[in-house]
Amino acid sequence: MSTVKKTFRIPDMHCSACVMKLEGLEDDLPGVRMVQASYQKQSMVVEFDDGMVSEGEIRKAIRELGYTVEDR
Amino acid sequence: MDTSIWIVFFTGLTAGGLSCMAIQGGLLTSSLASQIETQVQVTRKKKKNQKINLPLAQPIFLFLIAKLVVYTLFGVLLGALGSVFDPTPQMRGGLQIAIAIFMLGNAMRLLNVHPIFRYFNFEPPTSLRRWIRRKAKGQENWFSPLLLGAMTVFIPCGVTQTMMALAVSTGSPVQGGLIMFAFTLGASPLFFLLTCLATKLGALMEKYFVRFVALALVIFAFLSLDSGLNILGFPYTISRLTNASRVNANTIPRIDDRANFPSVSVNATPEVSSDVVVYANNDGYYPYESLATAGVPITLRLKTNNTISCSRSFIIPSLNIKALLNATGEKIIEIPPQKAGTTLAYSCSMGMYTGVIKFQ
């Protein structure tokens, strides 16, 4: 069990409302410790506990919010 | 309540709402644009033919509430500060131009012209975002209009500036606060209706929505840029060129002239004089172009008659002359001798209404 830091590219962020929506994963997905999204860079940095949540689950959660997720 | 407070309220109700729309309406449109854009995207994903129900009233209401609170507090501060508060035309002009750039940048961002324009989107810092998100779970959209409403205190329209000057002149925090409260409250209903209508129209044109909002922002940006340049006394702006084309039409008595000044008729060829009369009407200054004698001191008589528009807040930027005209009366301004060929550009303090004095 370790803390992993991963950066995803989110090419369809429209504004800062999208940023806040994506950063909400920090509260909604157990195991996610920190999310920092950037509309300007069209990316988000996620710090998570890989023993509690997998990268695949994070990707799925992002897609469920209505966004495309790509590797950076 | 003091009768003058009611007058201030009705000034807001009539002139205030319309006058503030150009700049503040643009800012609010920028803010609403993001929210509506998201809403449109979400609805599209949910169901193709579903009617879009936009939560417009709430952000506009929040915007106006924030405006009311901040302007009232500012009125209290102005009353307390008295004559200490005195922003220069250069400061106001610079601010207007900065706002124009902000709006243009946002229009380019909406049209996806280049990734660099994404930096024109206002984004609070991460820690603040987290705080807001946790405080207002499920209602993330309230922050932006609230902040923008509060921020408009830095970009008051001409009529608002007149009221601010009035608040300063009271020298009393209570009176200053009351004046700004009454005025902002009065301006709110019209502002609410106009913004709601404008944004609804944008949403109806869903297909063209982004382009519609971007176009609106471009128009607001040019208006703001034009005003900013006018305040700085720049002689070649769109509004000045348009006004200049009106010079020959000054011979025809205008309906609104008659409303303001029953006896005004301006000569086709204005006389060169050391005594210049300019009428500050609700819709601008008449005549647009006055001729004055070069090399001698000039007496400029600014006449008002039930004038409630921002033409009351008069500036000549190059001479650093500022004057707040009474709603009815005459204000005399002494202009030092100017060389032949000089053109003095003047405007209202928001750069909406303009005029020139040419020295011969």
Q: B74-109 pLDDT, tens per residue?
A: 999 988 886 565 667 777 778 778 777 877 887 888
Mean pLDDT calculated for residue range B185-193: 84
Mean pLDDT calculated for residue range B269-288: 82
Domain count across chain A: 1
Cβ–Cβ < 8 Å for B148, B26: no
Structure tokens at B143: 């922050």
Enumerate the residues of chain A whose CB falls inside 8 A of the CB of residue B126. Answer: 23, 36
Q: How many CA atoms lie within 13 A of B159 on its CB side?
A: 26
**CATH number, residue B348:** 2.60.40.420
Helix axes B3-11 and B173-204, enclosed angle (nearest 10): 20
Threshold 0.95, pTM exceeds: no
Q: Which residue numbers of A have CB closer than 8 Å to B's CBs?
A: 14-21, 23-24, 26-27, 36, 39-40, 42, 66
Using a 10 angstrom Cβ sphere, with 0-12 exposed, 13-18 middle and 19 or more buried, the burial of residue B331 is middle
Query: Phi, psi (5° rounding) for residue B67?
Result: -60, -45
Q: What pLDDT does A60 receive?
A: 94
CB nearest A14 (choices: B37, B122, B132): B37
**Whether residue B181 has pLDDT greater than 80:** yes
Mean pLDDT calculated for residue range B271-277: 84
Judgement on whether residues B222 and B250 belong to the same structural domain of the protein: no
Domain end among B185, B206, B231: B231
The reply to whether ipTM tops 0.90 is: no
Q: What pLDDT does B263 receive?
A: 46
Range of the domain at A52: 3-71
Chain A CB within 8 Å of residue B88 CB: no
Judgement on whether residues B196 and B106 belong to the same structural domain of the protein: yes
Q: Is the CB of B35 less than 8 angstroms away from the CB of A17?
A: yes
Q: How confident is the model at residue B331 (pLDDT cuts 50, 70, 90)?
A: very high
Judgement on whether residues B73 and B112 belong to the same structural domain of the protein: yes
Q: Is the CB of B34 less than 8 angstroms away from the CB of A15?
A: yes
Domain end among B231, B256, B288: B231
Distance CA B266, CA B311 (A): 18
Judgement on whether residues B209 and B342 belong to the same structural domain of the protein: no
Judgement on whether residues B90 and B209 belong to the same structural domain of the protein: yes
Q: How confident is the model at residue B36 (pLDDT cuts 50, 70, 90)?
A: low
Domain count across chain B: 2
Judgement on whether residues B12 and B126 belong to the same structural domain of the protein: yes
Judgement on whether residues B129 and B19 belong to the same structural domain of the protein: yes
Judgement on whether residues B124 and B248 belong to the same structural domain of the protein: no
Q: What pLDDT does B246 receive?
A: 60
Q: What pLDDT does B155 receive?
A: 65
Domain end among B184, B205, B231: B231
Instruction: Please name the residues in contact with B120: beta carbons below 8 A apart, sequence gap of 6 or more.
Output: B102, B105, B106, B108, B109
Range of the domain at B297: 239-359
Q: CB neighbours (10 Å) of residue B219?
A: 14
Mean pLDDT lowest among B10-14, B263-267, B319-323:
B263-267
Judgement on whether residues B348 and B226 belong to the same structural domain of the protein: no
Q: How many CA atoms lie within 13 A of B288 on its CB side?
A: 19
**CATH number, residue A27:** 3.30.70.100
Instruction: Please name the residues in contact with B108: beta carbons below 8 A apart, sequence gap of 6 or more.
Output: B114, B117, B120, B214
Chain A CB within 8 Å of residue B112 CB: no
